[in-house]
Chains A and B, each alone.
Chain A
Amino acid sequence: MQKTYKIYSVIIFLMLSLPGLFIFILPQHNFSSNENRYLNKLPGIKPDEILSGSFQEKVSDAFNDQFFARGFMTGLSTSFKKSLGFKDIGGAYLAKDNYYIEKITDNDISKDQLVKNLMYLSYFATNQEADVYTMLVPSPGTSMEYKLPAFAPFYNAGSVYNTVYTVLGKKGIIDLRKVLKSPGNSNKTSSQDGFYFKTDHHWTLSGAYAAYNEYCKTAGIKPQPYNSFNPVEVTNNFYGTTYSKVLDFTAKPDSIYAINTDQAENAVLICDGKKRTGIYNKEYLNKKDKYSYFFGGNYGRTDIVTGSNTELKLLVLKDSFANSFVPFLLKDYSQITMIDARYYDSGISGIISSGSYDHILILYEINNFAGDKNLYKLLK
C-alpha cells in the first residue's frame, strides 16, 4: 500500500510540475490564431509593478496563456461544458446544424448609441447630392432564429429596426431581413452554403449576393445572375470568429467562396495609400483569418478603379461585411471608394466634395452599427 501511495503522489506531482516547467523552458507565443487574440507573456520584473500587484496579475495571466497544451485544454473545457448541457459558451450559442451564433441580448444593444448613430447618419444623408442607401445587415441570430437553441434569449431585432425607420424614414433603406431569412435558397444562387458562415459572424458569398440583388433593385441597376460571377471555393478550411469564442473540438470548418472574374483580378486598388492590383489577398488563405482574403482585411480608405465602362461612382461607408459584397458591384461602377470609419480619421466630407459620387452606400451589420463609436466622423 505504501508503494501505491508513492506512485500516485509522484503522478500528481509530475502532472503539476511539468507544465510549470514547460512554461519556463518552451518558447513563448505571441498570438493565438485559434482564439484570435494576443496572448499574455511573462513580464519583466519591475519593482513598482510588484508593489502594485500588476506584475503578479500579468504572471498569472501569462501562465494561463502560455500553458503548453492550451489548445487541447480549452477544447476540453468546452467539451466538458457541452456535456453539462450548456448551450452557450464564451458568448456564442451552440446552434443547430453546427452553427455557432454570437449571443447578443437586449442588454448588449445600447439604445442610446444606436439613436446617436442614426442621428449622425440622418444629418449626413440630408446634405448629400448623391443618392444615399442604407443597408443594415441583420445579425446572424436574427436571420437564423430557428437555428438558435430553444428559448435562447436574443435581442429584439424588430424594435431595433423600428428605431432605424423612426429616425431615418423609409427612403433609401434596404431591409434585408426577409431575403436573408430563408436558409440558403439554392435555386436562385446555386449556393452550396447558407447565408452566414457556421463558424464566423460574417455572411457568406450567397448572403452577400442576396444583398446585392436587393441593392440593385433599389439603386436601379440590373442584377447579374450568381453564376455569371463565376464563384469558386477558395478554401474549405475556415474556422472563424464565433468558433474562436467556443473553441469546440467538433466544429466543422466553413468553405469560403469568392467571385472569380477578370475585373476582380485586374482592378487597381489604393489601400491607405498603397497601390496594388486585384481585390484578393491570397496570403490570408494560409492564415486563420481567412475572411481577410477579401481585400486583405479592413483599411481606413480603399479606392478601387474597376476598369468598367461606366460613369457611375460609388462611396461605401462600411464594416467588414462590405468586403465580400463590394466585389459584386465592380461591373456597375467605374470607381468605388470604401471608408471604414474605425480606421479612418480624416474628414469624410472632404472625400465627398472631391469625389463627385453618384451613390453612397452605408453598409453595416446592425449590431456593429448600433455599437460603433466612430460614426460622428460622418459629419467631419
Chain B
Amino acid sequence: MVFSSIIFLCVFMPVTFAVYYLCPAKARNLLLLIASLVFYAWGEPVYIIVMVFCIVFNYFAGRLVFIFKEASMPVKAEISFIISIIADVSILLFFKYTNFFIEIINNTGFKEMPVLHIVLPIGISFYTFQAISYIADVYMGNAKAQKNIINFAMYICMFPQLIAGPVVRYNQISNEIHTRKISGRDTAEGLQKFITGLGKKVIFANQAGELWEEISNITASGSSVLIAWLGAIAYTFQIYFDFSGYSDMASGMGQMLGFKFPENFNYPYQSESITEFWRRWHISLGTWFKEYVYIPLGGSHKGFPRQACNLFIVWTLTGLWHGASWNFIIWGIYFFVLLFMEKCFLLKLLNKIPKITRHIYALFFITAGWIIFACEDLNKLFNYLKTMAGAGVPLFNNYAVYKLYTNILLLLLMAICSTKLPVNIINRLSIKFKLNEIIIFWTKAAFTIILLITSMALIINGSYNPFLYFRF
C-alpha cells in the first residue's frame, strides 16, 4: 500500500490508529504487527512469505547468539552470528542481484545462462538491513535479544518504515518496543509531520517527477542544454521530496505510535561539500554502513591505504544497495572519488573559496550524480550527460523556454522548501511577534489542513504517483 493513496489515507490509517488508541497498551505490539502484515500483504501478497521467513529465522538466530554469549561461548556465538549474517545477505543477494550477476556472466561470453523470473519483494533491502542490525547489535553486546517473537516481528515489519525506511537500528528503539507513552501532543505533531511529508511527496515530488519524466523521454532533435538541465534539476528535487517526504510520513506515524525514529534528512541541498551532503542525506542508511561495514572493517584506524580501501568498499556497496544495475555502482564509485578527493585536499581548498561557490560546487556534483542514478540504461546516461554538456544541441529552444516559464514557480518553491529557510522564518516571526503556543499551533494546523485537502485533490486527479524508493 502506498501512503499517498486514498485507500491508505481514508481507510487503513484511520482504522489502524483508531483501534491502536482504543486497545490496551499490552496488546498494541500485536495489533501493530497484524496491521503491518495486512499493509505489506496488500502490496506483496505472495512474497510476504520471504519476510515471514526472515523474521522467524532472525528471531531464533538472535536468541542463539545471545544464549551463547551469555554462556561465555564466544566461538559458538561468532559462528552462529556469521551464519545468520550470511543467510540474511544471501536472501538479499538472491532476490535482488541474481539476474544482474547472470547477465554479467552472459556478457563475458563464457557461459549462457537463462535469466530467472524473480520479482524483487517490496522493502527487502530495508527489512534485511534491519535484521542484520539486530543480529549485529546482539552479537556486539549493544542490545539484548528479544524474547517475544511478536515484539521482534513488529520491529522488523512495522508499517511506517517497512518499505522505504528510515533504517531503524534495533538498539535505537529497543526500549520503546516494550514501553512507550503517547501524548496528545505526539499524535497532533505526528499528524502534522505526516501531512507535511504527504505534501512534499504529492505536491512537489509528483509534479517535479512529471516534468523529469517528460523531459527524459524527448528525442535528441527536440533537446537543448537548458532542457537537459531543467530535467536534471527536476529529478534532483523529485528524489529529495519523494524520499524525505516518505521519511517524514514514516516518522510522523512513528511518533503517533509512540516511537521516535531517527532523522533521515537534514536539508541536504544546503550542503557546502559532498562530505557534508552525505551527512545530511539518507542519514539512517549512511549510519548503517558506517556502523556495520566501515567500522568493522577497521574504519580509519588501520592506516591511510586501508582507510581508502574501506571507503571504496562502503561506497561501492552503497551504490549497489540502491539497485542491481551498473549505473548504481558507477554512482557509488563517483561519490567515493569525490569524497576521497575532499578528504585528501579538496575540503581545504574549498574552505578558501567563497561560500556561494562551495554551494554551487556541491549542487553541481549532486545534480550530476542524480542523473547517473536516474539513467539505468548506460547509453541513455551517456547521451543525457552529453546533452547537459552541450554536445550537438542548441543552448536553448522554444520547448525549453516554455518548460522553464511554466515551471519556474514550482522550481523556486521547491528550492526554498528544500532549505531551512521556511522554518527559520516561522521561528523568527513567532519570536518577533511574541506569538503564543496556541496561535503557532493553529497556524500550522490550518496550513496542514489546506495541505491535506490539496494533496488529496492531486492524488484523486493525478495519474503520476510513483514512489522512487520502492524499488530498493
Contacts and interface: CB of A to CB of B under 8 A. Distances in A.
Secondary structure type dominating chain A contacts: helix
Contact of B453 (A70, A76, A84): A76
B2 to A, nearest CB: 8
A16 B460 CA distance: 13
B409 A85 contact: yes
Given A73-B456, A77-B460, A51 B46 contact: yes
Interface stretch (A144-152, A306-314, A325-333, A347-355): A144-152
Contact of A151 (B7, B399, B410, B456): B399
Interface string B432-445: 00000110011001
B240 to A, nearest CB: 18
Contact of B187 (A5, A15, A106): A5
A379 interface: no
B452 A12 contact: yes
A2 interface: yes
Interface in A1-45: 1-2, 4-6, 8-9, 11-13, 15-17, 19-20, 23
A8 B449 CA distance: 9
B402 A87 contact: yes
Interface stretch (B8-16, B285-293, B349-357, B419-427): B8-16
Contacts of A63: 5-7, 10-11
Interface stretch (A53-61, A134-142, A165-173, A251-259): A53-61
Nearest to A55: B45
A187 interface: no
B341 interface: no
A56 B461 contact: no
Given A85-B407, A107-B219, A51 B10 contact: no
A67 B14 contact: no
B458 A9 contact: no
A50 B45 contact: yes
Interface in A47-96: 50-51, 53, 56, 59-60, 63-64, 67, 70, 73-74, 76-78, 80-81, 84-88
Most buried by A among B401, B408, B456, B457: B457
Nearest to A6: B184
B185 interface: yes
B37 interface: no
A87 B403 CA distance: 9
Nearest to A81: B207
A247 interface: yes
Interface residues of B, number: 58
Contacts of B449: 11-12, 15
Given A4-B438, A53-B45, A60 B14 contact: no
Interface string B379-405: 000000000000000000011011001
A78 B461 contact: yes
B218 interface: yes
Contacts of A78: 461
B461 to A, nearest CB: 4
A15 B454 CA distance: 12
A153 interface: yes
B42 A9 contact: no
Contact of B10 (A17, A56, A85, A153): A17
B319 to A, nearest CB: 29
A1 B445 CA distance: 13
Contacts of A85: 405-410
A85 B406 CA distance: 5
Contacts of A5: 183-185, 187-188, 441
Given A64-B460, A84-B410, A86-B406, A153 B6 contact: no
Contacts of A81: 207
A151 B398 contact: yes
Interface of B: 1-2, 5-7, 9-11, 13-15, 17-18, 42-43, 45-46, 183-185, 187-188, 191, 195, 203, 207, 217-219, 222, 398-399, 401-402, 405-410, 413, 437-438, 441-442, 445, 448-449, 452-454, 456-462
3 shortest interchain CB distances as A-B pairs: A20-B10, A17-B14, A77-B461
Interface of A: 1-2, 4-6, 8-9, 11-13, 15-17, 19-20, 23, 50-51, 53, 56, 59-60, 63-64, 67, 70, 73-74, 76-78, 80-81, 84-88, 106-107, 149-153, 247
